[in-house]
Structure 1
Amino acid sequence: MSRFFLFRLVLDLLAVSLLLTAFAYDLFGNAAHEIIGACMFALLISHNVFNRRWYGTLSKGWREPRSIFSKTITLCLLMTMLGLLVTSVIISQTVFDFLPVQSGFTARQVHALVAYLVLFVAALHMGLQWSVIMRIARQALGKTDDTMVQALALRGLALVVAAYGVHSLFVIDIRSKILMQTTFSFWDFEAAAIEFILRHMAIVALCAAIAHYSLKLLNALKNKRYVSR
């Protein structure tokens, strides 16, 4: 594994970490929130530069279920990220405050909606590369493969985290954010800041697991069709 690839992976994981951090708006305040967001978008620009060859393959592979699945997720991520960037500029009070743009309450609701869509789709996108991430982790630990006990333990842990992620969707009240409903419930960061971060991480893990095992299912169906021939 090349050092350059590891460097790119670290930048991608840092971008995801900044996205999670940006959700703690009430903890850090508006100025820090916008700076965190600007840094995240800078990392995303570098991600697109490093992966610019992907755009050349965009018109190919649309007959293969696995390719359709992965490209659809990546295109959705691109569109939602552009939407997040546009709404960020519109409602900015610090980084882009010099622009002659006016915003209202609706724009902030749309920004919150798009932010959570980005969280879901970015997690799905990360799940597409989960096998690569785990292979790198094994190499770093000096392991070539997992034993049966380790594999079962990891799958059990993934199931527990996914269940926590499902529960977190209700605790954080994702439904009201997706529907852009006005609520008067706010997270108490003084009492449960760590819980807020863990719940969002669990949601990311849930979506990543869905993408990862969906790919496995598509591969299994492809192999089954190949054998039946």
Structure 2
Amino acid sequence: MKPLFLVRLFLDLVAASLLLGAMAYYWSGNALHEMMGTAMFLLLVAHNIFNRRWYGTITKGRGAARGIITKTVNLSLLASMLTLLVTSVIISQSVFSFLPLNSTFTARQVHVAVAYVVLLITAVHLGMHWTLIMGIVRARLGIQGPSLLRTSVLRGLAATIAAAGVYALFEEGVVSKLLMQLSMEFPSFSTLPFLANHIAIVGLFACLAHYGYTLFGRRLQRRT
């Protein structure tokens, strides 16, 4: 496995971690929140540079259902990231405060809503590539051959995280935030519960995407 690929994977992991960290606004404060967000966007620029050849495949393979799904998810993530960047600049109080822009309550609501859209699409993106990631992990750890026990333990862990993710969706009032509604639900302002809840939400949508994508691929194979 090429070292450059591992570096790219590590940078993607750092970007995802910065996204989670930036969402913990009540822990980080505004200045650190904006610096983490800025660093995340710089890493995403690097990610797109590394994967620039993918853009040349957008108009190819139009009949491949799995390819269409992948392209739709990737382009949706790109669009939501750009929206997040624009709203970040508009409401900035630190990094981009020198720009003559006026922040509004609506812009802040859109920023929060889009941040959760980015989180969920990132989780789906992760789930769709989970087989590749697990293959890399197995190769690095020298794991060869299937294991019923290992598979059972990992699936049990995935089910537990997914169940926690369902609870976290309500605990953090995610639906209200996506709809830009004022909610009577109080999110967890303590850092560890907040991060644990959001990791569980990522796990839930990654599991749904992974198993859904896998089952969909198997159905296509049976038809052919």
User: Does residue 99 in structure 1 map to residue 93 in structure 2?
Assistant: no
User: Does residue 133 in structure 1 map to residue 133 in structure 2?
Assistant: yes
**Counterpart amino acid of residue 71 in structure 2:** K
User: Does residue 61 in structure 1 map to residue 61 in structure 2?
Assistant: yes
- Seen in structure 2, the aligned counterparts of structure 1 residues 95 and 186 have a Cα distance that, compared at 3 Å, is farther
Partner of 1:205: 203
Partner of 2:218: 220
Shift of 1:185: 5.3
- Seen in structure 2, the aligned counterparts of structure 1 residues 188 and 70 have a Cα distance that, compared at 3 Å, is closer
Shift of 1:62: 2.2
How many residue pairs were aligned?
224
Gaps of 5+ in 2: none
Output the TM-score relative to the length of structure 2: 0.96
Distance 1:5 1:188 in 2: 36
The runs of at least 4 consecutive aligned structure 1 residues that moved more than 3 Å come to: 183-189
- Seen in structure 2, the aligned counterparts of structure 1 residues 174 and 188 have a Cα distance that, compared at 3 Å, is closer
**Counterpart amino acid of residue 211 in structure 2:** Y
Shift of 1:20: 0.4
Q: Following superposition of structure 1 onto structure 2, how do residues 18-167 of structure 1 map, counting pairs within 5 Å?
A: 18-167=18-167
Q: Is the 2:171–2:185 Cα contact (8 Å) retained in structure 1? A: no
- Write out per-residue CA displacement over residues 12-70 of structure 1, whole angstroms, 9 at most, x where no aligned residue: 01100000001110111000000000000000000000000000000012211111111
| SS, match of residue 29 in structure 1 | helix
Gaps of 5+ in 1: none
> Percent sequence identity over matched residues?
51
Q: Is the 1:138–1:145 Cα contact (8 Å) retained in structure 2? A: no
Q: Is the 2:80–2:118 Cα contact (8 Å) retained in structure 1? A: yes
Distance 1:143 1:28 in 2: 39
- Seen in structure 2, the aligned counterparts of structure 1 residues 177 and 56 have a Cα distance that, compared at 3 Å, is same
Q: Is the 1:127–1:208 Cα contact (8 Å) retained in structure 2? A: yes
Q: Is the 2:171–2:186 Cα contact (8 Å) retained in structure 1? A: no
